[in-house]
């Protein structure tokens, strides 16, 4: 029996099973089996397959954004109008067959944009080169899911299902679960808060499916079986995502007011270039990049070319490494002006965490 057939059988069994306290263990086991089969589908046992032509785009700039969507929703038009890059546009589906890269400069940061070929239902299982498309999407710092405003919800659910099946988690934080394997002692489950779904038996059932019989599991919030499986698998990617509802020139003002209330959504018209300011502002907010300005000794700060850091890596050591690896070896201390310090300037060490638009002067060892 093929992997796809096994996945279909498990999904149909899960759909038939009633969800209650008595079936939690059985459902948890099925979810774990499903996650393992999906992993086999993504990474076949014979080693990684050769990447498809046009999908292996070199990573450039400070961040990377992937445009994901069904065929003919306006991804290529959006890239052409945002970045000035020509991506073939036509009235028929599947015009874009390879990844088309573009680049924009916004608030001093260089941001790479990738127009990915349209995905179809079943992409996570390899249909329509879907595996390569989603594999590129996994490397992005932010995902733009482009939807047709006239049929948004059906498409949104299908695309989310395809991306989730490939190990991507959109607009979610990594689960607050500590998982440690050990040599002996069985499974030890600690709950910091009361649990509504996971108990020791369910945890043991899920771990047994992965042939893990000795482990410490600490649940720091009310977790689900899916969260525990994500932590055990360890290959999940947590990516922020913005839903772009394109072709708003085809709807009324009243409908537009309703759309504006949907979380993580930006209504746009790629063809008429409507609402691009709002889109770029939201993009900057979701990327959460930090700009640091350099100041040579005895000179004014250079505000034209900031050093751009990711929000999770913004210490002075990360700043030095972004400029050049050799700087940290000669680093003595730094003078910092900005929101991250009490005094202007303040002498700090390499562990100091910087804030957006700080000014830094590095003093080297003599």
Residue ranges covered by each domain of the chain? 3-43+175-235, 63-171+238-286, 290-364
Q: Residue 64 pLDDT > 80, yes or no?
A: yes
Please, how many CA atoms are within 13 Å of residue 292, restricted to the half-sphere of its CB? 28
Mean pLDDT, rounded, for 308-328:
89
Give the CATH fold of the 290-364 domain. Answer: Ubiquitin-like (UB roll) (3.10.20)
DSSP state of 266: E
> Do 63-171+238-286 and 290-364 show the same overall fold?
no
Q: Is 333 exposed, middle or buried (0-12, 13-18, 19+ CB in 10 A)?
A: middle
Instruction: Name the pairing type of β-strands 177-181 and 215-219.
Output: antiparallel
For residue 354, which of 105, 142, 346, 111 has the smallest C-alpha distance? 346
Taking alpha carbons only, the member of 301, 293, 284 closest to residue 142 is 284
Q: Which residues pair with 65 in a beta bridge?
A: 113, 142
Name every residue whose Cβ is closer than 8 Å to that of residue 238 and which is 6 or more positions away in sequence. Answer: 169, 172, 173, 174
Task: List pLDDT tens digits, range 226-262.
Answer: 899 999 988 888 999 999 988 888 888 888 888 888 8
**86 has a pLDDT exceeding 80:** no
Locate tokens 């019989």: which residue? Answer: 213
- How much of the chain, in percent, has pLDDT values that exceed 90? 23
> Between β-strands 265-267 and 331-337, what pairing exists: parallel, antiparallel or unpaired?
unpaired
What pTM value is reported for the model?
Answer: 0.79
The Cα-based distances of 279 to 111, 164, 167 in angstroms read: 14, 24, 26
Q: Are 61 and 112 in contact (CB under 8 A)?
A: yes
CB 55 within 8 A of CB 99: yes
Q: Which CATH superfamily is domain 63-171+238-286 in?
A: P-loop containing nucleotide triphosphate hydrolases (3.40.50.300)
Q: What is the DSSP letter of 172?
A: -
**Average pLDDT of the chain?**
83
């Amino acid at each position: 029996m093929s992997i796809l057939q096994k996945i279909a059988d498990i999904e149909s069994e899960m759909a038939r099973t009633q969800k209650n306290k008595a079936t939690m263990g059985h459902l948890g086991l099925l979810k774990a089996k499903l996650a393992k089969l999906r992993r086999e589908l993504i990474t076949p046992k014979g080693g990684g397959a050769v990447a498809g032509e046009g999908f292996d785009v070199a990573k450039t700039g400070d961040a990377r954004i992937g445009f994901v969507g069904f065929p003919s929703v306006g991804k290529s038009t959006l890239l052409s109008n945002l970045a000035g890059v020509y991506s073939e546009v036509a009235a028929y589906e599947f015009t874009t067959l390879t990844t088309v890269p573009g680049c924009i400069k916004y608030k001093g940061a260089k941001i790479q944009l990738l127009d990915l070929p349209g995905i179809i239902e079943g992409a996570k299982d390899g249909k329509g080169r879907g595996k390569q498309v989603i594999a590129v999407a996994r490397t992005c710092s932010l995902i733009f899911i482009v939807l047709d405003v006239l049929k948004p919800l059906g498409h949104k659910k299908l695309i989310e299902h395809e991306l989730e099946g490939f190990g991507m988690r959109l607009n979610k934080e990594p689960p607050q679960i500590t998982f440690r394997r050990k040599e002996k002692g069985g499974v030890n489950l600690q709950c910091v808060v009361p649990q509504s779904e996971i108990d020791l038996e369910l945890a043991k059932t899920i771990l047994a499916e992965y042939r893990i019989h000795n482990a410490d599991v600490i649940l720091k919030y009310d977790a689900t079986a899916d969260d525990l499986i994500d932590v055990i698998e360890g290959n999940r990617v947590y990516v922020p995502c913005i839903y772009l509802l394109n072709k708003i020139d085809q709807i009324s003002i009243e409908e537009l007011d309703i759309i504006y209330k949907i979380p993580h959504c930006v209504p746009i018209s790629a063809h008429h270039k409507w609402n691009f300011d709002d889109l770029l502002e939201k993009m900057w907010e979701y990327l959460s990049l930090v700009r640091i300005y350099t100041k040579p000794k005895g000179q004014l700060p250079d505000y034209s070319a900031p050093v751009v850091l990711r929000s999770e890596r913004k210490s002075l050591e990360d700043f030095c490494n972004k400029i050049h690896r050799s700087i940290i070896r000669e680093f003595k201390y730094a003078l910092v002006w900005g929101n991250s310090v009490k005094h202007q300037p303040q002498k700090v060490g390499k562990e100091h965490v910087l804030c957006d638009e700080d000014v830094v002067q590095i003093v080297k060892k003599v």
